[in-house]
Amino acid sequence: MMHKVKVLFFSSLLFVSFLFVGESCKHENLPYINGDSICFERDILPIFVSNCAMTGCHDANTRAEGYDLSNYTSIMRRGIKPGDPTNSKTWEVIDDGSMPPRTNMTSLQKSYIKTWIAAGAKNGINCFVGCDSNVFTYSAGVSKIMSQCTGCHSGTNASGRIDLSNAAGVKSIALSGRLVGSVKQLSGFVSMPPYGSPKLSDCQITQIQKWINNGCKND
C-alpha cells in the first residue's frame, strides 16, 4: 500500500514537472535589452506601426477589437500595464504568437516591447538616432532602415506590392524615384513611414540617397 502511494506521488511529481517544462518551452529566450536605453518613438512605435497599425487592423480608423496602435496615447489606452508585461494584454498576445496574425515579430522586437513595458512603458520623443551618413552599404545602412518598413512591405501581401525585405526589392522601388520621394515626404508621393511615425532622419535619408547614387548594390 505504502509503495503504491509512493509510486503515485512520484509519478504525479514527474507529470507536474513535465507540465512546467512544457510551459517554459512556449516562451522563447529573448535577447537582453537595457530598459533605460529604450526610447519609445525610435524603438517601439515603429514596431507597432509596421506590424499592427495597418489599414484594416489596429490603425486609428479600424481599431480592430478596440485597439488603435498607431500612437503613444492610444497604445497606452488599453492592453498595457506599465511595469507589468505579463498582465498586459498587448504583450500577452504577442508573446503567445497570436498577434500579429500573419507575420512573426523577431525575438529582438519582442524583447523591445516586453522590456519597454517592464521599464514603465514611458513615452520618449526626439530620440537620438545613431546614424553615420558615411555608411551606405545595403547590409550596414539601408537594410537597417528598411527593417522598420518590412512589417508592411514584405511577403505576399506586401503593401503597394512593394517588397523592401531584400536589396533587389529596394532597388526596384528606388530606381522608380518613389523611395526617395516617399521618405522625403515630397508632394505627389505617399509619405513613408505612414500614420504619424516620425520621418526618417536627414542622416538616414542621406544614407539611402548615397546607396542609390552608388548603384543600389547588394553590398
Residue 51 vs 111, nearer CB to ligand HEC: 51
Check residue 100 for interaction with ligand HEC (CB under 6 A). no
Restricting to residues 102-131, which ones interact with ligand HEC according to CB under 6 A? Answer: none
Q: How far apart are CA 143 and CA 128, in angstroms?
A: 19
Binding-residue pattern over the window 189 to 208 for ligand HEC, x denoting contact by CB under 6 A: xx-xxx-----x--------
Residue 119 vs 158, nearer CB to ligand HEC: 158
Position among 63, 122, 178, 184 found at the interface with ligand HEC (CB under 6 A): 178
- Please, are residues 97 and 104 in contact by the beta-carbon 8 Å criterion? yes
Q: How far is the CB of 59 from ligand HEC (least distance, A)?
A: 8
| Cα 19 from chain centre | 31
108-114: list long-range contacts, CB under 8 Å, 24+ apart.
108/31, 108/33, 109/47, 109/51, 110/28, 110/30, 111/30, 111/31, 111/32, 111/33, 112/33, 112/38, 112/43, 112/44, 112/47, 113/44, 113/47, 113/85, 114/30, 114/85
Q: How far is the CB of 9 from ligand HEC (least distance, A)?
A: 55
Restricting to residues 130-169, which ones interact with ligand HEC according to CB under 6 A? Answer: 148-149, 151-153, 159-160, 162, 164
| Position 6, amino acid | K
Residues that bind ligand HEC (CB under 6 A): 49-50, 53-54, 148-149, 151-153, 159-160, 162, 164, 173, 178-179, 182-183, 189-190, 192-194, 200
